[in-house]
Structure 1
Amino acid sequence: MPLRDARRVLRGWRRTRPFWGGLLLILGGAELLIIPLSPLTVLVSLGLGGIAAIGIGIALMVAGLFLWLLPHAHHYVSVNALILSVLSFAATNLGGFLIGMILGIAGSAMGFGWTPVADDDRDAAGRPRLREGQGTRTLAVLLPVVLAGTALWGAAPAKAAPGDGEIVAARTPPTITTKLFAPKGFIVAGVRDIPTADGPMKVMVLRMNAASLTDYRLTTRDGSRELSLGAETLDLSGKVTLYLTKFKGCIQGILCLTFTPDRLPVPPLVPPFVFITQVSAEQALVTSDSVVAGGLRLEARA
């Protein structure tokens, strides 16, 4: 084989960084750019979706280069690349018709699961032993499968779970607004029917370990009066579950989206380290082990 020395140097460089994760991110970003970089008439017809595809595609390619050039930051880079990959489905042309999104998710998983090779795991020639990285490669392969499986499970409509029938929701869900919604823990979105006085109501279900809300306000009506409950801060913790008929907000304060039970994010997952601003939602029910409110106030208007 020609260029034996060059191939040896390249192999040694590749084994000291999440090379394949970075390569998949670069390919996923390039795939997202294919359609928006078509002739100008195509880009104009795509509108904001085309612009978002350009931005997310470039960001994923830069993330892939960062995995190659700054392998010590692979955790931070991979998490942000995963967020962009998932958002590409809603913000662009279906995540590059799923191809770019799947490549981005797989590359992020491989980058996050990569582990540097310790000196004790190298042979006399300085090359990694055969067992190097087997566990992390298995994790990287399984994570996209788990994400896809969770997406299918969460998107499938479900009837009320045991115990849900004990609580009857209001006929008209009150309106919730908050300037900042910061969930903590893994969130799964699904669809479910909950009982009301007028019959079942179709809602989205969001589950998390905890959540903090800033400048919280709940508005509902009691006959001819409008009732308003507000709080400067509201902290929910311990098996938090939100039942919503509508959710509108700006993810990371940039990408503004609206979700309903008939239009859920796919995959129905919210990655960690995500915050949502300017939230407006219709909340049928909320359950939590603990609720702590600061600056609570109650108002009634005719």
Structure 2
Amino acid sequence: MLLGLRGPAGPGSGWLDRRLPLPGPRRRLRAWRRTRPFWGGLLVILGGTELLLVPLSPLTVLVSLGLGGIAAIGIGLALVAAGLFLWLLPQTRAYVSIHALLLSVLSFVATNLGGFLVGMLLGIAGSALAFGWTPAPDPEAGGEGPYVPSLDGSGPRTLAAALPVVLLASLVAGTGEARAAPAGPPMAARTPPTVTTALFAPQGFAFAGVTHVPTVDGPLKVLVLRMRAATLTDYELRSRDGREEYGLAAKRLDLSGDVTLYLTKFSGCIEGLLCVTFSPDGLPAPPVIPPFVFMTRVSAEQALVTSDVIKTDDLRLVAS
């Protein structure tokens, strides 16, 4: 009965198979595919490609997150290389799939949330399929399938030594253009002024940790936020040092270049919905922030701000 279900032409040649074109090439492709973790390698390659496409996308909403965009290119290239190794050197599947799994998990914290989870999940699924794949034994050769390892160390298996070099070269190529860390911040005011804005729209927004900035009264603990650019609408800065308050106001303030904010307090409503407050000793900011995030009703205690370019619209002095 089983033979009858497969059809009179033999195994693997069902009704649909007999009617599809190019039977010879399809048969050879099927034979080649069954001797290696094909689907696992394909998912790993797709995951790496998706990680590459996110920071390279021309859409303005898909912008890279500072160094996260550069890391996405390096990890994406490494995953594509790992997928090709799974296809071309299937005997190294355990070694390669473990590296692909580690890179996929690393992409969540080092890149754009693992390509918004899609690239990370494809890489994890592909590496799991590749690691669990087992070839049919070859009784004549006494080994795994058609690729028996050479006893003298030569042959395809020795090419697996190139995998760490490929992975390392991909990561170095992705991070080689990263800027050197900027010098330490200048001295801040004794009491940080208060900044308010109706809309805070950053580009390449990332949380860079907690540090101390010098003041005349000693070091001040601050949050460090870095970005490529930011737009602040209905911007107002007011000094809190002394009895009289004074400051600046503008309809719009544009920061661009290497922008760094040093804040003792930062509060606002994410996407205008979820209102939160961050401080050096309170709720920590996440290491990476999705590129489409904006905040409304922002209030911050700003110890320092550094930027390559600052542009304003309708700048005026305010006092009270």
| TM-score between both structures, scaled by the size of structure 2 | 0.48
Q: Which residue number in structure 2 is paired with residue 295 of structure 1?
A: 314
Asked whether 1:202 is paired with 2:221, we answer yes
CA distance in 2 between counterparts of 1:211 and 1:143 reads 30
Q: Which residue number in structure 1 is paired with residue 304 of structure 2?
A: 285
Q: Match for 2:106 among 145, 166, 169?
A: 145
| C-alpha contact 2:213 2:219 (8 A) present in aligned 1 | yes
Q: Match for 1:163 among 184, 198, 210?
A: 184
**Secondary structure, aligned partner of 2:219:** strand
Structure ID, larger Rg: 2
**Secondary structure, aligned partner of 2:291:** coil
CA gap 1:114/1:233 in 2 versus in 1, 3 angstroms: farther
Q: Which residue number in structure 2 is paired with residue 253 of structure 1?
A: 272
Q: Which residue number in structure 2 is paired with residue 227 of structure 1?
A: 246
Instruction: Specify the code of the residue in structure 2 equivalent to 1:259.
Output: F
1:83-162 alignment, distance < 5 Å: 142-148=103-109, 162=183
- Deviation of 1:180 (Å): 0.7
CA distance in 2 between counterparts of 1:274 and 1:231 reads 22
Asked whether 1:275 is paired with 2:236, we answer no
- Deviation of 1:267 (Å): 3.6
Q: What per-residue deviation string (whole Å, max 9, x for no partner) do you get for residues 106-141 of structure 1?
A: xxxx9xx999xxxxx9xxxxxx9999xxx9x97785
Instruction: Specify the code of the residue in structure 2 equivalent to 1:273.
Output: F
| C-alpha contact 1:178 1:217 (8 A) present in aligned 2 | yes
- Deviation of 1:221 (Å): 3.6
Instruction: Specify the code of the residue in structure 2 equivalent to 1:202.
Output: K
CA distance in 2 between counterparts of 1:144 and 1:295 reads 47
**Secondary structure, aligned partner of 1:218:** strand
CA distance in 2 between counterparts of 1:130 and 1:273 reads 40
- Deviation of 1:15 (Å): 11
- Deviation of 1:251 (Å): 1.1
Instruction: Specify the code of the residue in structure 2 equivalent to 1:169.
Output: A
| C-alpha contact 1:148 1:267 (8 A) present in aligned 2 | no
Q: What per-residue deviation string (whole Å, max 9, x for no partner) do you get for residues 133-186 of structure 1?
A: xx9x977852531544699xxxxxxxx97432xx21011110111111111124
CA distance in 1 between counterparts of 2:256 and 2:289 reads 17
Instruction: State the aligned residue count.
Output: 199
CA gap 1:138/1:293 in 2 versus in 1, 3 angstroms: farther
CA gap 1:208/1:143 in 2 versus in 1, 3 angstroms: farther
| C-alpha contact 2:253 2:310 (8 A) present in aligned 1 | yes
Instruction: Specify the code of the residue in structure 2 equivalent to 1:145.
Output: L
- Deviation of 1:272 (Å): 1.1
CA distance in 2 between counterparts of 1:240 and 1:187 reads 11
Stretches of structure 2 lacking an aligned partner (at least 5 in a row)? 13-38, 58-74, 91-95, 114-180
Computed over aligned residues only, the root mean square deviation of the Cα atoms, in angstroms, reads 4.8
Instruction: Specify the code of the residue in structure 2 equivalent to 1:272.
Output: P
CA distance in 2 between counterparts of 1:228 and 1:261 reads 25
Q: Which residue number in structure 1 is paired with residue 145 of structure 2?
A: none
- More divergent stretch after superposition (268-277 vs 173-182): 268-277
| TM-score between both structures, scaled by the size of structure 1 | 0.50
Instruction: Specify the code of the residue in structure 2 equivalent to 1:216.
Output: Y
**% identical aligned pairs:** 54
- Deviation of 1:248 (Å): 0.4
CA distance in 2 between counterparts of 1:250 and 1:216 reads 16
CA distance in 2 between counterparts of 1:223 and 1:263 reads 27
CA distance in 2 between counterparts of 1:253 and 1:228 reads 26
CA gap 1:274/1:203 in 2 versus in 1, 3 angstroms: same
| C-alpha contact 2:193 2:241 (8 A) present in aligned 1 | no
Instruction: Specify the code of the residue in structure 2 equivalent to 1:198.
Output: D
CA gap 1:194/1:141 in 2 versus in 1, 3 angstroms: same
Q: What per-residue deviation string (whole Å, max 9, x for no partner) do you get for residues 189-223 of structure 1?
A: 31001100100000000011111111101011453
CA distance in 2 between counterparts of 1:206 and 1:287 reads 11
CA distance in 2 between counterparts of 1:237 and 1:139 reads 36
**Secondary structure, aligned partner of 1:144:** helix
Q: Match for 2:232 among 203, 213, 218?
A: 213
Q: Which residue number in structure 2 is paired with residue 96 of structure 1?
A: none
CA gap 1:168/1:15 in 2 versus in 1, 3 angstroms: closer
Q: Which residue number in structure 1 is paired with residue 257 of structure 2?
A: 238
**Secondary structure, aligned partner of 1:196:** coil
